[in-house]
């Protein structure tokens, strides 16, 4: 709106012909770098002066009142770096942060040069469609989608976005991955042919179902010194963040009793599994492959399949799935349901029980008639 200025009262304030006052403020917009001008009319000089002082102060702070909710512009690749360093590596487990880094490396190829505010739902859906045509597994696509969703949700928290454009996009359906498990004869052969310093490690993997990372971090304080049949292993810092307790059978108790405790600088090393000089063990891949070869196990068996071996044999011995889930540390029973096909006798017994009930009903009907 154009104003006909009559008299300049002071810098930025003019008296208008009608007798009221015009106040004016010029400032640089912190979002765009452009020069902007704001004007206000009032019938009192003191109100015009107060408004101008207040707006100048707001402009110096980069906080033009009424526009404090402006979003901070940032390109995806710069935000991704900030997310990794200030959130993922700080708040998540190391393995999860590594997974995020892998996902972000691929996400950057598509979104890296875009402003976060330019990313729309359609862009995310298009990204997933491209990944699908590339033949990527549903699990890979889901990890990348989850990473992107978490990033954009955090971008909302950090005032880079108003809304999460990926919200509501559904994950791909994942088929349960196939797994191998060792037979009882193969278990014996593996333990007979493994290196002596790894025997306890493999024994615990098979008879407790602990994950490789949980075994690496196992400490002597986590081993119940009670020699009774109710002795427990305490598993801390698990994959889902919970502490769980796993009973030790006689095989596990005996293996741990024979396992040497390393002495470092005159003190017992807190970790159960270490090198001869007390350094943490971080890899058993070579030792596991060698043991499989010497044991004559020629199938593709991964170390994680020892955990499947634990669950599979429990299921085949008719241990109920909720107990198996608790021992495995599964929060979702769906994770444990993959072992149901190993308990056909249990399922058959359930169906047979229904048949007995129906026979009883039919006989009763015949008697009544």
- Domain-located, residue 258: yes
- Domain-located, residue 104: yes
Indicate whether 145 and 238 sit together in one domain: no
Indicate whether 119 and 238 sit together in one domain: no
Indicate whether 56 and 80 sit together in one domain: no
pLDDT, position 355? 66
Q: Which one has a higher pLDDT value, 214 or 336?
A: 214
Indicate whether 190 and 336 sit together in one domain: yes
Indicate whether 201 and 305 sit together in one domain: yes
Q: What is the CATH number of the domain that holds 222?
A: 1.10.443.10
Confidence band for 65, pLDDT divided at 50, 70 and 90: very low
Which tens digit of pLDDT belongs to each residue from 215-253? 999 999 999 877 667 789 999 878 777 889 999 999 999
On the 0-12 / 13-18 / 19+ scale of CB atoms within 10 A, 80 is buried
Which tens digit of pLDDT belongs to each residue from 91-120? 888 888 999 999 999 999 999 999 999 999
pLDDT, position 336? 83
Indicate whether 148 and 195 sit together in one domain: no
Domain residue limits at 135: 76-157
Q: Please report which helix (H) or strand (E) contains residue 147, including its range.
A: helix 138-157
Number of domains in the chain: 3
Indicate whether 122 and 249 sit together in one domain: no
Indicate whether 95 and 235 sit together in one domain: no
Pick from 224, 226, 178, 182: nearest CA to 207? 182
* pTM attached to this predicted model: 0.63
In angstroms, the first-to-last Cα distance of the chain is 98
């Amino acid at each position: 709106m154009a104003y006909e200025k009559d008299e300049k009262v002071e810098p930025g304030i003019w008296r208008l012909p009608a007798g009221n006052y015009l106040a004016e403020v010029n400032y640089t917009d912190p979002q765009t770098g452009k020069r902007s001008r704001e004007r206000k009319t009032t019938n009192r000089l003191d109100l015009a002066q107060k408004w101008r002082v207040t707006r100048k102060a707001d402009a110096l702070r980069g906080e033009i009142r009424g526009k404090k909710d402006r979003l901070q512009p940032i390109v995806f690749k710069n935000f991704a770096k900030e997310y990794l360093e200030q959130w993922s590596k700080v708040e998540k487990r190391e393995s999860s942060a590594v997974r995020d880094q892998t996902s972000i490396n691929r996400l950057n190829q598509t979104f890296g040069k875009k402003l976060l505010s330019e990313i729309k739902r359609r862009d995310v859906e298009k990204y997933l469609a491209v990944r699908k045509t590339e033949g990527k597994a549903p699990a890979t696509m889901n990890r990348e989608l989850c990473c992107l969703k978490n990033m954009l949700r955090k971008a909302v928290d950090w005032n880079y976005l108003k809304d999460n454009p990926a919200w509501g996009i559904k994950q791909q359906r994942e088929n349960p991955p196939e797994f191998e498990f060792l037979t009882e004869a193969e278990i014996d052969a593996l333990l007979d042919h493994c290196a002596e310093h790894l025997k306890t490690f493999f024994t615990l993997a098979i008879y407790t179902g602990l994950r490789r990372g949980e075994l690496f971090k196992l400490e002597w304080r986590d081993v119940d010194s009670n020699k009774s049949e109710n002795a427990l292993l305490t598993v801390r810092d698990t994959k889902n963040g919970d502490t769980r307790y796993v009973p030790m059978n006689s095989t596990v108790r005996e293996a741990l009793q024979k396992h040497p405790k390393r002495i470092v600088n005159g003190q017992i090393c807190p970790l159960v599994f270490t090198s001869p000089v007390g350094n943490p063990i971080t890899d058993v891949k070579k030792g596991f492959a060698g043991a499989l070869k010497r044991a004559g196990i020629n199938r593709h068996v991964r170390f994680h399949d020892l955990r499947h071996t634990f669950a599979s044999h429990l299921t085949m011995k008719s241990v109920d799935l909720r107990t198996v889930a608790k021992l495995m540390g599964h929060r979702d029973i769906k994770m444990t349901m993959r072992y149901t096909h190993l308990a056909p006798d249990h399922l058959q017994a359930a169906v047979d029980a229904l048949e007995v009930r129906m026979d009883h009903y039919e006989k009763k009907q015949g008697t009544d008639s």
